[in-house]
Amino acid sequence: MKEIIVFTVFGVVYFSILGIASHSSAYEAPHERITRALGRMEAPVEASLPFAQRVLKPLFNRVAALFSRMTPKDKSSPTTKKLVAAGLAGQWDSNEWKALQFGLGIISGTIVFVLLSLGSPAYLKSLGFALIGVLFGCVATDSWLKAKIRSRQTEIQDTLPDVLDLLTVSVEAGLGFDAALLKVCEKQRGVLGQEFLRVLHEIKMGRPRREALRDMGKRFEVDELRSFISSLVQADQLGISIGGVLRNQAGQMRQKRRQRSEEKAQKAPIKMMIPLVFFIFPSIFIVTLGPVILSLIESKVF
């Protein structure tokens, strides 16, 4: 019972620290960071920054400097790709994230060891649980990052058909493709809106549209988005009307979204079997058969 309480306390502390650290740049939106990078906004005053940005981030920077000396460059690229896909590339680089992961693991292990050692002479047992806490702290950080990536990918899959409909209507109304993207950025406040805004800023800075769109597709491992970008690039290269391509892509994306919804609906009865078998059915049996069994016991049938 004591171990359960300890791991509950340390889990709350761990995820609280992770949440504070991961939102260390929450004082400005992604499109504001892009705009400030273009020199159109001034950096915020240091005194107005959050505690995590003023205190925790410099601390992790110092620890990250040690990791940068020990970690080869090619080993840090997978972490960098994950941070980009999770939307944290502007807040953390690979070495800083590894320092955060290592630091949270040490903090978790220390909390578990101290709480279990209070009033208990079994230091070896406490040390064993502390090592488990360190391992959990390191693994949970990576799992949280993967969950954030999956959340953004799911949001892209769900909102892409609506974005394509808006793009199609804007282009067929007479707007150019860049102006239609800007209209999408004004109406869509999610991940796609931020990414399209980034593409527009890169185009304004002189980067070719094809390269900006292709890099956007590489940042997210979403097949629907890659298919859409490939169609746009081919249409641009062959001189095909973008309006027709957008209309076809919008129809395909709506159909894929409908298929995903039908697939989830078909999986729902199977997933419902687990709570039914382990929680609902036993309760029904107790309510219905309990009085009968008690009556049989009182009548000395058994």
pLDDT tens track for 175-229? 888 888 888 888 887 888 888 888 899 898 988 888 888 888 888 888 888 888 8
- Determine the Cα–Cα distance for residues 83 and 77; give it in Å rounded to an integer: 10
Mark whether 18 and 143 lie in a shared domain: yes
Mark whether 8 and 150 lie in a shared domain: yes
Mark whether 97 and 168 lie in a shared domain: no
Domain contains 279:
no
- Determine the Cα–Cα distance for residues 82 and 212; give it in Å rounded to an integer: 19
Q: What is the pLDDT of residue 190?
A: 83
Mark whether 184 and 94 lie in a shared domain: no
Mark whether 72 and 183 lie in a shared domain: no
The boundaries of the domain holding residue 193 are 162-257
pLDDT confidence band for 53 (50 / 70 / 90): low
Mark whether 27 and 114 lie in a shared domain: yes
Domain boundary among 154, 183, 198: 154
Q: What is the pLDDT of residue 27?
A: 37
Mark whether 11 and 148 lie in a shared domain: yes
- Specify whether the CB–CB gap between 297 and 291 falls below 8 A: no
pLDDT exceeding 90 applies to what percent of the chain? 0
pLDDT per position as a tens digit, 225-281: 888 888 888 888 888 888 888 888 888 888 888 888 888 888 888 888 888 888 888
Domain contains 265:
no
Core vs surface per residue 156-166: b (16+ CB within 10 A) or e: bbebbbbbbbb
- Determine the Cα–Cα distance for residues 136 and 128; give it in Å rounded to an integer: 12
Q: What is the pLDDT of residue 52?
A: 54
Q: What is the pLDDT of residue 103?
A: 75
Mark whether 55 and 19 lie in a shared domain: yes
pLDDT per position as a tens digit, 100-154: 777 777 777 777 777 776 655 666 666 777 777 777 777 888 888 889 899 988 8
